[in-house]
Chains A and B, each alone.
Chain A
Amino acid sequence: DGGITQSPKYLFRKEGQNVTLSCEQNLNHDAMYWYRQDPGQGLRLIYYSQIVNDFQKGDIAEGYSVSREKKESFPLTVTSAQKNPTAFYLCASSGWSEQPQHFGDGTRLSIL
């Protein structure tokens, strides 16, 4: 079954810690995206990548970092510089920009 796998489903972070959220897709999609979902705010774009070894900042990139070393993988690191990291994080992919995006099940990050 083709799809997007995000792990873990739940993640807890201590103050001052960096954490990395995993996103893997087997849809052979070129473009991948990370969104943050907060109640009443919809989805906001953190980072996106249209091709391997290239990525761009979205609307709320501060405190986050990504890498795109392989086509199928787009991990997101939430750094200690992100002051309000508690949120639901969604990874998505599409054949190319402007095509419908396919979403993973999400990772819920909480601060201890």
Chain B
Amino acid sequence: AQSVSQHNHHVILSEAASLELGCNYSYGGTVNLFWYVQYPGQHLQLLLKYFSGDPLVKGIKGFEAEFIKSKFSFNLRKPSVQWSDTAEYFCAVNDPRGKLQFGAGTQVVVTP
């Protein structure tokens, strides 16, 4: 069973549209949460992370994510996407063993 679930496998949207990618996990207790991005032809990069504190975290390139503990969710958002945001986005969670578990990824295509 998938321990980290990303709701959409493919998302297509136009420039300036808002983006929200869902991520849910199934672990109890304290977790560390991450969003990684893989641009075409590039290596995985960290977008943002949540360890503790303010549940609304801001990352690079205008992305933010909200941790909602009661919903076991860590959704990624960007108010206005650009063509350069075309990439694959991965949610990841440290499981109770401390190992990083990845979601299946969401391929985002932004059209001009």
Contacts and interface: CB of A to CB of B under 8 A. Distances in A.
B98 A97 contact: yes
B44 A90 contact: yes
Interface in A63-107: 90, 92, 97-98, 100-106
**Highest count of chain A CB atoms <10 Å: which of B4, B34, B99:** B99
B43 A45 contact: no
B90 A98 contact: no
- The DSSP consensus for interface residues of chain B is strand
Contact of B9 (A40, A90, A97, A104): A40
B100 interface: yes
Contacts of A90: 43-44
B32 interface: yes
Interface string B31-74: 01010100000111110010000000000000000000000000
Given A42-B105, A43-B90, A100 B98 contact: no
Interface in A41-64: 41-45, 48, 58
Nearest to A100: B46
Secondary structure at the A interface, as helix, strand, loop or mixed, is strand
Contacts of B100: 33, 45, 101
Q: Interface residues of B toward A: which range?
A: 20 to 34
Interface string B1-19: 0001010010000000000
Nearest to B99: A45
Contacts of A105: 42-43
Contacts of B25: none
Interface of B: 4, 6, 9, 32, 34, 36, 42-46, 49, 90, 92, 94, 98-105
6 contacts: A40-B9, A42-B103, A43-B90, A45-B100, A92-B44, A106-B43
Interface of A: 4, 33, 35, 40-45, 48, 58, 90, 92, 97-98, 100-106
